[in-house]
Structure 1
Amino acid sequence: MPRVTGIDLDALSIDQAREHPDDVEYILGDFLTHPFEPASFDVVASVATLHHMDAATGLARIRDLLRPGGVLAIVGLARSTMPKDLPRDLAGVVAGLSHRAMKGHWEHPSPIVWPPPVTYPQMRALAAEILPGSQYRRHLLLRYSITWRKPQD
């Protein structure tokens, strides 16, 4: 039977997650220092977290926590570089406003880090260096994604 673990430093976020009945083990703690066993996960998913820490350290920690053949999926935020990113950012703002108008806006309890410390090109380079063969994509709504399968030993 699959096991799912969620970890977050923010107590309010963990409390909010625990309000939903599920089979997830929630840990209030630091993903970088929590004593997980190396190579202990088949999948690691990260949503809007790497900009809260040193991105290189976070990517390396995820890499080390994956079992051989394990999959990484990240959706993150990075800092735009102007004027190059202006057209994409404007399109993202319009898409975000449209999305909120149709779906509403959810106020999360987590701390906000803005602007993100790493730019999109820097994140792409870090992913290529730390996760060779990873797929990096830039998205609307000021997001990027990284997917990667850890090679079999």
Structure 2
Amino acid sequence: MWNHNTHFHNYLLRQLPIKVNHALDVGCGLGLFAYKLAGRANGVHALDVNGTVLSEAASCHTAPNIHYLHTDFLEADLPAAAYDVIVSIASLHHMDLETALEKMRALLRPSGTLLILGLYREATVADYLYSAISVPINRICLIRHQSSRSTSAIVAPTCPATLSLRQIKTVASTVLPGFSLKRHLFWRYSLIWHKSINS
């Protein structure tokens, strides 16, 4: 299955630490990345606020070490400092960014890794240049991956991004010291942060 998010799955998987005991997928959607993550982690908690989407995920992408949770991340009762890896793919723009990042920081174990693939609002010349480049590449990818596109009638809800990359960087700098942010094609960015062992 190919889309603007799955295009970056392998990139995110390459950022994982060698050993992953417990992992959390925030806003897991149809569960494809949670399923891939389960191949690298001893246990995965995959949560989503949408029950219909989560049921589809549990049906299509099941594994003995994946536990699907129907809950709102910001309200979820999750163990503090318990996860070696926390992943969020195209879900942060559905939440208050600062609140979500603060909770993710609290849930990560010392030396844990936070991996985010997010959406941003176009606001600069560079943003619009990346957008212009993305349009023809998107068409090529859609043709190339036509046979691998999802045939599921269940689609995760979408909403437009409201924060620019500059705004995202400003918020992240107050919560995640030393984070790394990279702009990608297809209106996406990645944010990677390693929690200090002394945190």
Structure whose residues are more often helix by fraction: 2
The question of whether the paired residues in 2 share the 8 Å contact of 1:12 and 1:109 is answered with: no
**Worse-matched range after superposition: 16-25 or 71-80:** 16-25
**Residue number among 27, 51, 55 corresponding to 1:11 in the alignment:** 51
**Residue number among 187, 191, 197 corresponding to 1:146 in the alignment:** 191
**Residue number among 39, 47, 53 corresponding to 2:81 in the alignment:** 39
Q: Percent identity over the alignment?
A: 31
The question of whether the paired residues in 2 share the 8 Å contact of 1:127 and 1:146 is answered with: no
- The match for 2:62 is 21
> Are 1:109 and 2:149 matched, yes or no?
no
Count residues in correspondence.
Answer: 152
The question of whether the paired residues in 2 share the 8 Å contact of 1:8 and 1:30 is answered with: yes
Greater relative contact order (Cα < 8 A, sep 6+): 1
> Are 1:74 and 2:120 matched, yes or no?
no
Residues 11-44 of structure 1: CA deviation (Å, up to 9, x unaligned): 1221121112312100000111111011111100
**Worse-matched range after superposition: 87-96 or 65-74:** 87-96
Shift of 1:121: 1.2
> Are 1:135 and 2:180 matched, yes or no?
yes
TM-score, normalization by structure 1? 0.92
Gap regions ≥5 residues in structure 2: 1-20, 22-41
> Are 1:60 and 2:102 matched, yes or no?
yes
- 1: CA distance between counterparts of 2:139 and 2:96? 30
Secondary structure of 1:109's match? coil
CA RMSD of aligned residues (A): 1.5
Alignment of 1:83-94 (within 5 A): 83-94=125-136
Gap regions ≥5 residues in structure 1: none
TM-score, normalization by structure 2? 0.72
